[in-house]
Chain A
Amino acid sequence: MEKGQVNINFKKCRIAYNDTEKLVGRAVRYSTIPYSDVISYAAQAASVPESNIEISMEALFDALNYFVMNGHNVQIPHLGTFYLNVRVKSTTTKEEFVANFSKNLRQISICFLPDPELKAKIASTAINTQTDEQEGDVISEAG
């Protein structure tokens, strides 16, 4: 696979906690690839009909949902692991924890932890930085 490349754009922002203005970076999102384009790309790359990819994707994500929503961690090789996480206010006693659980429950979320292989790919990604004044100009490159 080709080495990836991401752009980090630095934009002037007010930092509230010390009331200063600084250049804060953010990864540039080139576009959002729609579901249909992901299917076309995968179908072309694997030389399989698009319908096969679409059915597979549905089946795969339904299975993933089923396992994750029932408290299992799901590992997709070379991509990462999906799991559920819960945020609940801590209490001083176990009795209080059980009694006030619904009141103290802040959030249940699905988390994604990238696979070491994906992390290695990310690490070798070329990083271009730019500022708003020099939009499009590459100031430096690494990776």
Chain B
Amino acid sequence: MGQIKVKGTMQRVAMFDENRVIGHVEHYSVVKGDELVSYAAKSAHIPESSLRACTIAIREAISFFVLNGHHVDLGKFGIFGIRSKQKAVTNAEQVNADLVKHLTVGFKPSAEIKKAIAAIRIEVEV
């Protein structure tokens, strides 16, 4: 079970035009790819070099499928897919690629991950 710290800070909220306490997750550190691979290799007893090569292959597979309009199911982790934001129009003649304002890669966590998130212990700090 994980544990996180939520910090409440006083900030101006434009909607209410007053200072209010806003909560956000305290991020302890940014774990880089190398650290992640080292940790995973140690805990699963796999050679680091092999894991590094596999990580690159997995990453390339994800971006290849996603950038070609497929959703990628990563089992107990979640699903990656392309998401778009575009302007709505009134008739079919107006439809063109320029209406697409934003394309991005989205991630939807699996039910297992959602369950793990729900079990996280939260420490509140102000």
Residues of A within 8 A of B28 (CB): 70-72
B interface, over-half SS: mixed
Q: When chains A and B are docked, how far (Å) is the Cα of A53 from the Cα of B21?
A: 46
Residues of A within 8 A of B124 (CB): 97-98, 101
Total chain A interface residues with beta-carbon distance under 8 A = 102
Contact with A38, one of B61, B67, B99, B117 (Cβ below 8 angstroms): B61
For B82-119 the 0/1 string (1 means CB < 8 A from A) is 11101011111011111110011111010001001110
Q: When chains A and B are docked, how far (Å) is the Cα of A141 from the Cα of B98?
A: 9
Nearest CB in chain A to that of B68: its residue: A4
CB <8 Å contact, A48 and B31: no
Q: List 20 A-B contacts (CB under 8 A).
A: A1-B63, A4-B68, A8-B99, A10-B99, A33-B72, A38-B62, A46-B54, A52-B50, A56-B54, A59-B41, A70-B4, A72-B29, A73-B31, A79-B63, A83-B27, A84-B117, A92-B21, A94-B10, A97-B124, A110-B117
